[in-house]
Amino acid sequence: MSQTTDSTKAVSTWAPLRIGLFRALWLAVLVSNVASWMQTVGAQWLLVGQPNAPILVALVQTVDYLPDVLFGLVGGVLADTFDRRRLLMAVQGFLVIVGAALAVLTLAGEMPPALLLTFTFLIGSSSVLILPAYQALVPDLVPRAQLHSAAALSSISVNLARAAGPAVAGVVIARAGVGAVFALNTAMYALFLIVLVAWHPPAGKPKVPEPFVSALRAGGRYVRYAPVVRRILLRSALFLVPASALWSLLPLIASRRLGQGADGYGLLLGALGVGAIAGAIGLPRIRTRLSINALLAASGVVYAVVLAVVVLISNAVVILIVLLPAGVAWMAFLSTINAELQLFLPAWVRARGLSVYQMVLFGAQGVGALFWGLVASPAGLVTTFLIAAAVMLAGVATMRIWPIIDTSGMDRSTVQYWPEPSLALDAAPEDGPVVVRTVYTIPTESEAQFLQAMARVRLSRLRTGATQWGLFRDGEAPHKFVELYVVSSWEEHLRQHADRLTGADQQYEEEAQGFSERPTDTSHLIAVELPEYDL
């Protein structure tokens, strides 16, 4: 596959904010992100003075991200099958209750490390539903040409929060303590809830929810048989595992190497956020000059250099300046990856695909944070960061072997090009399994090309609902090839007809059919239950 290039005209980063609904949701998510970063800073700073601080501080990120790893796909299924606004409202209500309990217990001095990590886990569970539900809405709110800008704005939201949240948290901790930070977070959760309650989207066509287990399996199958998605997930993990060393151990850099307090730590995080915001503003122009893969490689190299510099220099002002390009690299990598994934995923499985990405996003950071914390305890911060820099550069070197796959020529719009099946019997939705049989007549000289085309058709069938697939040559008529694939139920097969096929799937199928000397013949075989019989 060729590398992706972007020769399109630069779209302003701010263009999606002209859309009122996107703007309202973006501001609401910004408030939520500020609260999340204040929560993280408060929790980490509460543990800095504890025995085994490197492990405990790193565990804050690990337990925060653990729910996304354990339940990420579940969140995607719920976001794909239920009303996303109501889902977001329920989650924000949960956060208000948990945040209030955390604040009260902390102010009362009843917050041991184990209980703090438990509350962090509960609050972290919210992102399992919030992120896929919100991100899956974005392609429906903005034009396709503005998706890269919308992804950059999402990164700006995160990094504005990263700049403001830690800085505010540092000031509040220094003046009023960690408990006051948690109380302020709860107020921000409540503000997001109020925005959601006030939002009244236009009534749409009632959606028939897909059965949960069926939807869960369908999401997993889609990712498994989508090489584009798998490559995006791989590149994300290769960047995020070494990158997590900076985020998880920065409190120790601030306190132990630079002699800074909570406000100094907040400034360091703020520098990363400011760098990310500056990068987001300039990213549209950069994308017109660099391919996607070149941009990702450059981000990795810059980040690796920063990982080394922050432990080789002990001047706080210099470190503040050095962290700016790290923020640029972080934002450029993640916003680019996120936009590429949103551009590729079809609407019916978008939240599930994004939730799997979220599992990798947070899982890689959570595992990485724990790993670097364990390394730092015996080896020290300098050795740990240099190892992380080397791992980052090794990941960049794999770009030649595993580049992001070019999707510029793929039509990702939903199409309905299969004719309605005309059955001579009434099939109930739960009837099945269903075997779909298609016969092709292929001349000998076209066999190699036909088989190559059918390799793409195979992945298309498996992505959209098939649980098994096979291609067979007719022994009595060697020019005939029979395609058979199994779908779990008649309802599942009708979902393939209605909303699971894209323009690219149509292209793959028509290319394969083009090699057939006669029109293809498709039939449906529905499983029959036999009566019990004792020999």
Q: What does the block give as tokens for 250?
A: 């920065």
Token pair belonging to 406: 């070019």
| Domains defined along the chain, listed by start | 15-199+209-400 (1.20.1250.20), 434-526 (3.30.70.100)
Buried b (16+ CB within 10 A) or exposed e, 75-100: bbbbbbbeebbebbbebbebbbebbb
Q: What is the pLDDT of residues 340-396, one digit of tens each?
A: 898 899 888 888 888 888 888 888 887 888 899 889 888 889 999 999 999 999 999
Residue 132, both tokens:
């896929």
What are 414's strand-pairing partners? 502
Q: What whole-number distance in Å separates Cα of residue 461 and Cα of residue 525? A: 16
The pTM assigned to this predicted structure is: 0.78
Using a pLDDT cut of 70, give the percent of the chain over it. Answer: 95
Answer yes or no: is pLDDT of 81 > 90. Answer: no
- In the predicted structure, residue 6 carries a pLDDT above the cut 50: no
- Using CB atoms within 10 A of its CB, is residue 286 exposed (0-12), middle (13-18) or buried (19+)? middle
Tell me the C-alpha distance between 240 and 464, whole Å.
30
- Output the CA–CA distances (angstroms, integers) from residue 313 to 38, 320, 367, in the order listed: 27, 11, 27
Taking only the tens place, the pLDDT of each residue in 334-356 is: 888 988 898 899 888 888 888 88
Q: 205: pLDDT confidence band, cut at 50, 70 and 90? A: low
Q: Residue 535 — pLDDT band, cuts 50, 70, 90?
A: low
> What pLDDT score does 233 carry?
95
Closest CA to 418 of 344, 350, 488, 502: 502
Non-local (6+) Cβ contacts of 200 within 8 A are: none
User: Please, what is the average pLDDT of the chain?
Assistant: 85
Q: Residue 497 is which amino acid?
A: H
Angle between helices 178-198 and 84-107 (to 10 degrees): 160
Contact 410, 451 (CB under 8 A): no
- DSSP codes of every residue in 115-158: HHHHHHHHHHTTHHHHHHHHHHHHHHHS-GGGHHHHHHHHHHHH
Integer angstrom CA distances of residue 5 from 2, 8, 81, 289, 504: 9, 9, 34, 9, 19
